Amino acid sequence: MQKLLLPLFFLLIFLSFSTQTQTSFDLLHHHYSQSTKSHFVLVHGACLGAWSWYKVTTFLQTAGHNVTALDMAAAGIDPTQPQSLKTITDYFQPLLNFMEALQADEKIVLVGHSLGGLGISMAMERFPEKISVAIFVTAAMPGPIPWLFSMEEQV
């Protein structure tokens, strides 16, 4: 009888853990399937356009999210002539205009790739109340560029 109790004890412990794990998984799955959908705003990198996000856009829309992929000034199908851009702010003006036009209570997920990182940083400074989270995808970020300063010292 004693020989049977020990394996039975371990079996009960094992089953209790597997039941808890399954229940936790079910709760997690339920949470994510019932969560509210987000509005993603995608900002492309240099020499690209909104078209560069086509796979991401499709994936997010299939998951039920609202997605806006913007063309920056003189990029993609934006009609602005490149020579008319004088500052980086001019380049990111379509993003700034979009952010300004958002409803006061709307919060977006802002995603920037490469040079788009500077644009989303600019938007974060100007419209912090309209951004729930910002995602930098191999993106440029404002701040000092250490290797540039060390190069200047060597020259």
What pLDDT, on the 0 to 100 scale, is given for residue 31?
A: 43
CB 78, CB 72: distance < 8 Å: yes
Are 118 and 142 in contact, with CB atoms under 8 Å apart? Answer: yes
Q: Are residues 111 and 133 in the same domain?
A: yes
Do residue 27 and residue 87 come from a single domain?
Answer: no
Q: Does residue 109 lie in a domain region?
A: yes
Are residues 57 and 19 part of one domain? no
**Total number of domains in the chain:** 2
- pLDDT over 90 (residue 16): no
Distance (Å, whole) CA 122 – CA 106? 18
Q: Does 78 share its domain with 14?
A: no
pLDDT of residue 9: 46
Answer yes or no: is 150 within a domain: no
> Residues 7, 60: one domain?
no
75 and 27 fall within a common domain: no
CA gap 119, 105 in Å, rounded: 22
Note whether 92 and 126 are same-domain residues: yes
Note the pLDDT of residue 143.
78
Q: Average the pLDDT over each of 24-28, 84-88, 108-112 and give the range with the smallest value.
A: 24-28
* Average pLDDT rounded to a whole number, residues 85-91: 95
Contact between 124 and 134 (Cβ < 8 Å): yes
Name the pLDDT band for 13 (thresholds 50, 70, 90): very low
pLDDT of the residue at 146: 62
Query: Can you give the residue range of the structural domain that contains 113?
Result: 36-139
Q: Look at the block and give the residue holding tokens 């990029």.
A: 75
